[in-house]
Amino acid sequence: MSILEKERMSRDVHLAGKDLMGMVQLLPVDFGKYAIVPGPRERMESVMKKLKNPVKKFAFMEYTMFTGTYEDVKVTTINGGRFAADTAITTEILCNGQTGCLIRIGSCGALSSAIKVGDLIVVTGCVRGDGVSPYYVDDAFVTLPDVALNAQLVAAAKACGLAVHEGKVWSTDAILRETKEHVNKAIDRDCIAVDMVSSVFLTLAQLYKIPAVSILAVSDNLITGEMGFMNADYYMAEGALINIAFNLIKQKELK
């Protein structure tokens, strides 16, 4: 017999989103009516510069969250993660903090030669290729953004003057295994772009019944092979995402 006897876990879950709230000492009052959620910290810092009196609410591992005001509206920003696993952590925190509306601003690769580096993609649905969302939902679950909020996002995006495309996005964890086999299957399922986080971000928001949208700047193209990570058009689009998110908030508040 083994020295360690087999035991069984009796709790439903070891660590839940509400437990994370307690660990980092957050209360709903620490969150804004809106949250703008970029992936990297440097993009979050650009968002933060547009907030009045931003206050750091927590720093946990590599994540940092600030809340300030924009046009007298309370807004939170957090570097929400580059990958599905860390995005799930930060999205759980935002949802358990009862944030009223979630806006993801990220990047993606295009799955069409007609989509150029520096264009924008407004996500209308997701093909879930990440390894996190299957722990939350089954294969029959349809991951979608909030319909009304997405329509307003499209209007705000088109007003910026850049090319805007609407369509489904394939989210995958395996950035170095975006092979033609997997890519072509995503295209067959009507995906126009690939990213790493929209699926888990929107899935969790749906489960918590919090309106959420995702808008992405095109950084590269899997059909043409173009790598635009150093392209000025990509950086312009990345900056435009921030303005679009704030214009969406302004648009929502004027109604």
pTM to 2 decimal places: 0.95
Superfamily of domain 21-254: Nucleoside phosphorylase domain (3.40.50.1580)
pLDDT at 22: 84
Q: Give the residue carrying structure tokens 């949802």.
A: 95
Say whether 17 sits in a helix, a strand or coil.
helix
Say whether 192 sits in a helix, a strand or coil.
strand
Comparing CA positions, the residue from 11, 197, 204 lying closest to residue 96 is 204
Contact (CB, 8 A) for 143 and 252: no
First CA to last CA across the chain, in angstroms?
Answer: 69
pLDDT at 2: 66
pLDDT at 255: 66
Contact (CB, 8 A) for 200 and 106: no
pLDDT at 4: 77
pLDDT at 176: 93
Domain boundaries, the chain: 21-254
Annotate 183-208 with b (16+ C-beta within 10 A) or e (fewer).
Answer: beebbeeebbbbbbbbbbbbbbbbeb
pLDDT at 62: 84
- pLDDT tens for the chain, 255 residues long, are 566 788 889 988 998 888 888 888 899 999 999 999 998 889 999 999 999 999 999 887 789 999 999 999 999 999 988 899 999 999 999 999 999 999 999 999 999 999 999 999 999 999 999 999 999 999 999 999 999 999 999 999 999 999 999 999 999 999 999 999 999 999 999 999 999 999 999 999 999 999 999 999 999 999 999 998 889 999 999 999 999 999 999 999 876
The bridge status of strand 73-78 relative to strand 212-221 is unpaired
pLDDT at 20: 84
